[in-house]
Homo-oligomer: A and B are copies of this chain.
Amino acid sequence: MADAKPSASGAAEGSLAEEFAVPSQVEELRGRMAEFAERHGVAGRRVVLITSGGTKVPLESRTVRFLDNFSSGRRGASSAEYFLDAGYAVIFLHRHRSLYPYTRLYSGINLLDALTAEPECARVVVDQSALPNIAAVLTRYQAVKAAGLLLPVEFSTLSDYLHLLKAAAQALSGIGSKAMFYLAAAVSDFYIPASEMPEHKIQSSNGPLQISMKMVPKMLSPLVRDWAPQAFIISFKLETDCSILLERARRALATYRHQAVVANVLDTRRGYVVVVTRHEQHELQLSDEDARHNVEIEERIVSNLAAAHHDFMLQG
């Protein structure tokens, strides 16, 4: 997220429903998120909203083609696990079919390559060498589920995402500074307004394609100022050019006045990030030894932010 003036975002907020189709289930989901936040808030638990995965931006209203952002959802899904380990309850607002906590560990594996039929016992069993550590992961997943600590909410399009983020902010407003927003989703900066979109599939016989896209309103501004003024809010900044990264992170922080930016470069994002706050910056880096022990950078990010959130709550 970057450089729009807060005033522009304020204007955009009012017109959200005009420019972006409202997903049909938004009321029900807002209710479920509010109930989740209240239940855990009452129990003294902190709640993090994690956004994860890329957004889909349709080019046609009966959509065949769309613009997308590179994101497997790996960072959001693994971070969810570390937040759960740190005692948070997690609302996981993620792109449909992006990586999911725990299950992500087996995402590259064909399920049918990992099973063995035992017809004599009418049983199908898991080949545990094909799904490493599966018994322990399954136990942890089931414990999280049984305790009601993870609420998954799905989006596909940019419109879904924007409306659900606003609904989540409203749902979390009741728990004040106990709420963290961890905005790891790769949200499109550009879109085509419904009014300018062709209904039918664009015909290639019409010749080369010219696409004009408007800028997506920066939701971080109304989120920080109006929707969740008491919450602890983290945005992410991914660049491919490391020379502009920190300057852009600082600029975002100055513009939106939220609590931290996790800055990272596409090529090195799994081993190095900088957590930039108003007065400090923390470099988090995995060593060769960490890599040998399969330590993930998200463990460090979550540990850093959970501590900062703790301090923030004491001040608030």
Measured CB to CB, the residues of A under 8 A from B are 2-4, 56, 59-60, 62-70, 100, 102-103, 106, 110-112, 115, 117, 119, 122-126, 128, 131, 134-135, 137-139, 141-142, 186, 188-190, 199-205, 207-216, 238-241, 266-267
Copies in the complex: 2
Given A65-B69, A266-B64, check contact A134 B138 (CB 8 Å). Answer: no
* Contact residues in B for A56 (Cβ distance below 8 Å): 68
How far apart are the CA atoms of A216 and B214 in the complex, in Å?
25
Q: Least Cβ distance of A32 to chain B in Å?
A: 18
Q: Least Cβ distance of A140 to chain B in Å?
A: 10
Chain A interface secondary structure, helix, strand, loop or mixed? mixed
* Contact residues in B for A210 (Cβ distance below 8 Å): 210-213
Q: Least Cβ distance of A66 to chain B in Å?
A: 6
Q: Most B CB atoms within 10 A — which of A110, A112, A128, A203?
A: A112
- Selected contact of A2 from candidates B64, B106, B205, B240, CB within 8 Å: B205
Q: Least Cβ distance of A105 to chain B in Å?
A: 9
Q: Least Cβ distance of A208 to chain B in Å?
A: 6
* 28 A-B contacts (beta carbon < 8 Å): A2-B203, A3-B204, A4-B204, A62-B267, A64-B238, A64-B240, A65-B70, A66-B70, A100-B110, A103-B112, A112-B141, A115-B134, A117-B138, A117-B142, A122-B135, A124-B126, A124-B128, A124-B134, A189-B209, A190-B204, A208-B212, A208-B215, A209-B212, A209-B213, A209-B215, A210-B212, A210-B213, A211-B213
